Structures are given as structure tokens and as C-alpha cells.
Copies of this chain bind each other. A is one copy, B any other.
Amino acid sequence: MGQYPWHGLLTIENESSIPVSLQIANAIIKEIHTGHMQPGTKLPGVLDAAQIFKVNKKTIEKAYSELSSQQWVNILPKIGTFISDSLPAMKYQSLKNSSQVVISTDPNYSLEEHHIDRFSEITNGNEIIFNDGLPDNRLIDHALINRTYRSILKLKSYRKLLSYTTSLGDEVLREVLAKYLNGTRGIPCRTENIMITRGSQMALYLSMSLLLRKEDVAIVSDPNYFFADETLKYLNADIKKVKVDKNGIVVDEIEALCNKGKVRLVYVTPHHHHPTTVTLSADRRMHLLELAERYRFAIIEDDYDFDFHYKHNPILPLVSVNSNGSVIYIGSFSKTISPSFRIGYMVAPKKIIRQAADLRKIIDFQGDTILERTIAQLIDQGDLQRMVRKSLKEYRKRRDFLCDNLKLELGQFFSFDKPSGGMAIWGKFSNDVCLKNLSSTARENNIVISDGTPYRSDNCLRLGFASLEPAEMTNAVLILKDILLKQVRE
């Protein structure tokens, strides 16, 4: 046994789910790895070891037999147990080095810090949160969703659903969705044109990734949806920004860029522009589609909140009047049901869908088929449509309430147009307001609002109204007013 510190080798944990014999074997393996025990070293005899570790003799025998079957030691009957000679000798590693990281990564991309992280990481559960425009989880009919989910598990075919399947998504959901999109949005698509993804972000990534080669030109609006910009940056696109006004993205500027050089794709949110909430006007829609055909670029149409339009009926997406396959359409159920049910989809020509499915295998393999089938059933039974109508009615009230309240209380500081759709108000604080200061002081008072950085737009921000009840909004607006009055006085 010599000087070897057997006694300090390990503290046996009797509560652990690992058998004591394995704890001893593992401790010895670690000692070999770190060079503390060298090949050829003789281990203490079974009786000695049993004394040292204060365990039964049988436990030591088991430990040694485990080490032997893993080839760490040789047991020579009546001679002793030795650390195998065929192991390479390890350099003694001082514990001081144990936190040293050998591998380093040097990504050519890093995500900009974003408020969504801060929202979720820092909240204590008691704040009133003006989020980016999220649905109210309190309105979700969990009982119905759960009932539907369980009914799927009772299907004869559930075993197949529970196994690996294709990366295109559940066949039944694709079929139902094709019919649904045709019926409600006039999108001329069939099952083969649809791929189910995890939320819209995966559809964004897949479509952009398929379309873009390094340094291809991609046009976006300024300001734009944060994660669309980030995805393009990640893919090393040459991002060109064009203005957005009350009629949506300025298509004349897109045309000017097309005249300067090859454009590969244009990313748009025509229904309710993100973040400004404006709707792309009829003439610009036609102009954009005409440009796409003339200059042969792809349009990625992100219709993340199609269902939530208050003024008139939802407007037909670009893809529904595009007959030459230049539009990839992206939608999502995250706003309709819940962000935690990450189900989105992508509508595109069949060939592109097949390629996207291949790529999806690499990054994610496949979706949650049971959840996908659940959504299919909710659509097929009309439940989803009922959910949307119910939420829409409530969100319209909340929008009106917050707009009136903001005009009344913050009129001197905050200017905005009432949004005709979506779940947030886009507005601008007057120049005497310091948004960073407002955001941090509000936080101290349990009110969460953005400091404007994710929109990269001068003193502008989004105030989500859909997830807040009127009393919460009144309360929050009054607190903001107090802060602003003090800020301006100082």
C-alpha cells in the first residue's frame, strides 16, 4: 500500500443510486486516468481494502471484478490485483489544471444580446411585462388540448407515431393544413408543398439556408424582425436595408437595389410588418411580386400572426396570388396556441420542401409527432378556429383599451398609430425621454418594457398588449407616467 492515500480516495455515498462497489471501481479508474496510479501498481488485498473503505469484503470483490471486466486490472489468483500493464502510463495531472479547457471555439458569428433573454431570465414572476407581442397563456384551453393529445395516444396507430418518422412532419397535419390554408388564406398548396417545422424560426433558418450562398444579397426592411436579421448575419448574407413607411416596406427602393446587382432574396412581413405593425399596401404587393418575377429573386413571406387582424378580414398572403413559385411562405401556431408548442410550417414548391426536409434531418431530425397530430385534430374539428375567434375578440378589446389609455396618460411623451393587427403597439417616445433610463427605472417598479435596442430604431419600441388584462395595463401605464414626469422634470 505504501504511501498511496487510499483513505482519501473517495467518500462513499450510501444514498447514491450507484452501488458502492461501482463507486469504488470508478474512483480507481479516475486515479488511473489522472496518472495517480500507474500500470503495474498492485491494489490492496480484498481484506485490507474492505477495512480502508469500511465495507464488506464482497463489495471489494465486486469492485475488482468490475475493474477486471472493463480491462482496467488483471486479477492473478492468490497473487493479487494489478493495474493492467497494457494501459498507457499517464502523466500525473495536478488538480490545479483541472479547469483548463483544451478545445476552443472561435465562432464567426455571435448573437447580439436581446431583450427576450433578459425578459425570461430576470423576471421574478410578479412583474407586469410589456412583451414583444405575445399571446395570453391564460386564454389557452389546456383541458381541450390535453384531451385531444390523450385521444391520439389511444389511436391504434400511436405506436407508429411514437417512433422515428420523416422530417417533413406528420402526414395528417400536412394534409389538414393544406386544406386549411387553402380554405382560409387562399393558398393554392397541396400536402407535398408543406413542411412542418419547430415554430417559424426553424422555417426561416431552413429557407434562408437553402437559398443563400455566402455574400448573396438579401434585402430586409429597416427596422426589421430581430431574428430574421440575425439568421441572415449567421449565414453571411450581404444584407441590404430599405425603408419602411406607413404602407409597409418601400418597394421602389427594392427595385433600385435590383438595378444595381443580383438580389437573391427579400424578407417581408406584409400582413403586419415587424416591428412597426403596418400592412403592405395593395400596389406595393403587386409591385413586389412583379419585381420577384422580373429579377428572379425569392420572397420569404413571414406571416407570423395572420390570424390577428382587427380592422377587416385578414388580407390574402402574397403566396396566394403568386402563381410562379417565387414565394416561400412561413406560418406558425405559436401565437395561436402557445410559444411553448413549437409548431410552425413552410409552404414552398415541392422541390424546395424536399431539400428543406433533408437539411432538417441534420439539425433536428424530426418533430414531435404526437403534438403535430394533436394540432391536426384541433384544426380538423374546428377547435383551433374557435380558439382564434375567442382570442381575437379579447385582444381587440385589449388593444383598444391600451391605445386609449396611452393617449390619455402618456400622450405628451409617446406617439403611435393604432395597429390594425398583431399583438403589440409600435410607437416612439419624444426625444426628451431616455428609453434606457425609463426601462431600468420601470424594472425597479416591477414593470418590464424594452429599452428599444432590439429594434435599432430611434427611441421606438413595441408594447405588447395581448397578454395583459386591462387592470394590469392601467396600473403599468400610471407607473410609467410617474417615471416620465420625474425624468422630464430633472
Contacts and interface: CB of A to CB of B under 8 A. Distances in A.
Contacts of A326: 101-103
B166 A325 contact: no
B88 A290 contact: yes
Contacts of A370: 340
A137 to B, nearest CB: 4
Interface in A330-363: 338-342, 349, 351-352, 355, 358-359, 361-363
Interface string A111-142: 10000110111010100000100100110101
B364 A282 contact: no
A321 interface: yes
A377 interface: no
A87 interface: yes
Given A163-B340, A231-B362, A355 B110 contact: yes
A179 to B, nearest CB: 11
B340 A282 contact: no
A283 B84 contact: yes
Contacts of A321: 29-30, 33-34
B26 A134 contact: no
A44 interface: no
Contacts of A198: 198, 364-365
Interface stretch (A47-55, A291-299, A401-409, A469-477): A291-299
A460 B287 CA distance: 58
Contacts of A260: none
Nearest to A338: B162
Contacts of A369: 340
Contacts of A416: none
Interface stretch (A90-98, A448-456, A481-489): A90-98
A80 to B, nearest CB: 19
A117 B365 CA distance: 11
Interface stretch (A199-207, A423-431, A433-441): A199-207
Interface string A149-174: 11001000111111111100000000
A70 B30 contact: no
A286 B32 contact: yes
Contacts of A17: 183-184, 382, 385
A313 B19 contact: yes
Contacts of A361: 111, 201, 227, 230
A72 interface: yes
A289 B33 CA distance: 9
Given A69-B311, A321-B33, A230 B362 contact: yes
A281 interface: yes
Contacts of A322: 33
A149 B149 CA distance: 11
A318 to B, nearest CB: 9
A76 interface: no
A182 to B, nearest CB: 10
A102 B324 contact: yes
Contact of A140 (B22, B34, B162, B166): B162
Contact of A103 (B100, B183, B296, B362): B296
B364 A364 contact: yes
Given A107-B355, A116-B164, A339-B162, A33 B70 contact: no
Contacts of A366: 339, 342
Nearest to A234: B362
A86 interface: yes
A105 B352 contact: yes
Given A282-B72, A286-B88, A30 B125 contact: no
A71 interface: yes
Contact of A283 (B88, B104, B107, B371): B88
